[in-house]
Structure 1
């Protein structure tokens, strides 16, 4: 979808070459449309050697089993997003341990997906009946007979072979008041 009007001031956009790439620029206020992006998050939650999975009730992937997850809101830190998404989709409470995987999909809407290793805190899986129609903790043996999304199979391999907690929140680097959060190995 082409950007025809400036989101900052409403003026008609024009094309200009910036950094060797043709981009839409507002001749009135100078706002540059850098592209369309989305950031998704996913949870790898284990309880008693079983992984939390949900069955998608909507496209994309309707009917397939995946790990719980979703998309960040504009002013929501990613570590809060994944806690919220797990709770919304399954009723399970979990805490972030660290970031263990990342997927990059450069497409018309450039998607970055961040996978979190999470600690089970409490609750029994109950599907939200909107985004997911089933939820539960499943063993490797049980997963063999399930229609897992291919990306979820890859994340399962990541979860089973993770050697550490990945990138963890660096609480010493957080500047007071500005909301920035830093992760490090």
Structure 2
């Protein structure tokens, strides 16, 4: 059993087998609390022929370099969230070029949608979730070891960062 209460009628939720999965359900009104991953928008920003990375101030992966990213808010599309997050975290106005990839894992409660983008204005500055911002040339990305005592989210996000920045690890990639 869980300690959560139904958002519809206030009764205590219970775990029920629904569609072959354990889900929280209200025994009084039948409401099912569907657990869906929260979408996160990520911007791979090219600025002055270099990759923009922020040093994350907060978990997950506090202290690591990563592309600007954040939750998609109600009332905005994923592309709008990518643009907003770039502005908030590194001060740049961007244009989306292409979808890079979508990342998910069954035991992680977020879904990352990564876009390749380029700057079209603004001023590079560490924003709300960044302790600093950096520009990195191809082949010059900072070495970042896998987190030793990290959470599942830390380890997965580290893998995502390695994957989305892989084209920037090689000097020959245009």
- TM-score tier after normalising by the smaller chain length: 0.7 to 0.9
- Inter-partner Cα distance in structure 1 for 2:109 and 2:3: 15
* C-alpha distance 158-112 of structure 1, shift in aligned 2 (>3 A): farther
| Structure-to-structure mapping, 1:68-87, within 5 angstroms | 68-87=68-87
| Structure-to-structure mapping, 1:158-177, within 5 angstroms | none
Match of 1:67 in 2: 67
Question: What TM-score comes out, normalization by structure 2 length?
Answer: 0.78
Contact 1:68 1:85 in 2 (8 A): yes
| Structure-to-structure mapping, 1:10-89, within 5 angstroms | 10-89=10-89
Contact 2:138 2:168 in 1 (8 A): no
* C-alpha distance 150-25 of structure 1, shift in aligned 2 (>3 A): closer
Match of 1:175 in 2: none
Give the C-alpha shift of residue 14 in structure 1.
2.7
- Inter-partner Cα distance in structure 2 for 1:29 and 1:159: 53
Question: Which of 160, 164, 167 in structure 2 is aligned with 1:155?
Answer: 164
Per the alignment, in what secondary structure is the counterpart of residue 140 of structure 1? coil
Deviations along 1:2-37, one digit per CA (max 9) or x if unpaired, are: 452112221222332211222221133321012252
Match of 2:151 in 1: none
Match of 2:122 in 1: 123
Q: CA RMSD in A?
A: 2.5
Contact 1:3 1:24 in 2 (8 A): no
Give the C-alpha shift of residue 77 in structure 1.
1.2
Question: What TM-score comes out, normalization by structure 1 length?
Answer: 0.74
- Inter-partner Cα distance in structure 2 for 1:55 and 1:78: 22
* C-alpha distance 14-103 of structure 1, shift in aligned 2 (>3 A): same
- Inter-partner Cα distance in structure 2 for 1:66 and 1:8: 39
- Inter-partner Cα distance in structure 2 for 1:3 and 1:105: 26
Q: Any unmatched runs of 5+ in structure 2?
A: 146-157
Match of 2:136 in 1: 138
* C-alpha distance 101-38 of structure 1, shift in aligned 2 (>3 A): same
